[in-house]
Amino acid sequence: MLLRVQFGGEHKYIKLSELTFDTFLKEGASQSSPCSVTSDDTVILNFSMCDDEEASPVGASQPKSHVAKALIGKILTSRPGGERIMQEYGKTKSLTDATRRQMMNIFAAEMTETHGTSPPKSVRVMYAQGIVALFPYLEDPFSQHGYEHYYDPESGSGYLAWRLKTIQRKSSEERCGSVSRSPKDRTRFQTPVW
């Protein structure tokens, strides 16, 4: 975890493997100017959690998660129902199951319109990254990257993957169904009325 802190009038980033006060003090004191802090000292901190990517120097190219976040935001603001999803998240910092399903429908529709019914893994990953970048409280703290429940490239599973598979299956059924239901087939299988 990367924390952005202000300590002794100095802004800096501290990387912690676990968030405990002792770990913070150890890392913070070792990275700061000649200043000693013990666990008996009173320290008042204002800190915010951030991604490793946010610590990149000014002028560096825009990180992928920021591009993905912008894409997801643009899709939601341009699609019917997207604003309601953003409002619900803004109020509750979560989404109901019905709202999450609606969000997955919106993203799957956008993906299939833009990239066909089998979008590349990189596109699926970008959407998943964008979802947790735009909605940080929806991130899964127990997965490696936090977005795997939306799309996991290793297993090919997740909400987006399942929705895309449903679209692919229905599309395939429609193609197969329309071939077998041609007018010639219908007359061939009808029983004659005598």
Cβ distance 167 to 112 under 8 Å? Answer: yes
Same domain, 119 and 37: no
The answer as to whether 81 is a domain residue is yes
∠ CA 67-72-73, nearest 5°, is: 95
Same domain, 154 and 78: yes
Does residue 127 share a domain with residue 167?
Answer: yes
Question: Are residues 33 and 10 in contact, defined by beta-carbon separation less than 8 angstroms?
Answer: yes
Whether 164 and 150 have beta carbons less than 8 Å apart is answered as no
Instruction: Confirm whether 187 is domain-assigned.
Output: no
Q: What is the C-alpha to C-alpha distance for residues 59 and 94, in angstroms, rounded to an integer?
A: 33
Are 77 and 154 within one domain? yes
- Does residue 179 lie in a domain region? no
Residue 30: its pLDDT value, please?
52
Q: Given this model, what pLDDT does residue 103 score?
A: 93
Give a yes or no: residue 191 inside a domain: no
Distances 194 to 29, 73, 89, 188, 191 between C-alpha atoms, Å:
97, 64, 64, 16, 9
Is residue 192, in this structure, part of any structural domain at all? no
In a domain, 91, yes or no: yes
Mean pLDDT, rounded, for 77-90: 93
Nearest to 135 by CA among 125, 113, 150, 123: 150
pTM over cut 0.75: no
Please check whether residues 81 and 36 belong to one and the same domain.
no
Is 162 inside any structural domain? Answer: yes
Tell me: do 167 and 102 sit in the same domain. yes
Residue 80 tokens read as: 């019917």
Same domain, 139 and 46: no
Backbone angles phi, psi at 47, to 5 degrees: -135, 160
Both 84 and 160 in one domain: the answer is yes
Rounded mean pLDDT of the chain? 74
CB burial string 138-177: b at 16+ within 10 A, e below:
bbeeeeeebbbbbbbbeeeebbbbebbeebeeeeeeeeee
What total of structural domains would you count in the chain?
A: 2
Looking at the structure, tell me whether residues 102 and 31 fall in a common domain: no
| 105 and 38 belong to one structural domain | no
Distance between CA atoms of 163 and 166, rounded to whole angstroms?
5
Domain membership of residue 154 as a residue range: 64-173
91 & 38 share domain? no
β-partners of residue 14 are 3
Residue 65 has phi, psi (to 5 degrees) of -65, -30
User: Once rounded to an integer, what is the mean pLDDT over residues 92-109?
Assistant: 93
Q: What's the pLDDT tens digit per position in 137-185?
A: 999 888 888 889 899 989 989 999 898 888 888 888 887 766 555 555 5
**Is residue 56 assigned to a domain?**
no
Tokens of 103: 């969000």
- Looking at the structure, tell me whether residues 36 and 99 fall in a common domain: no
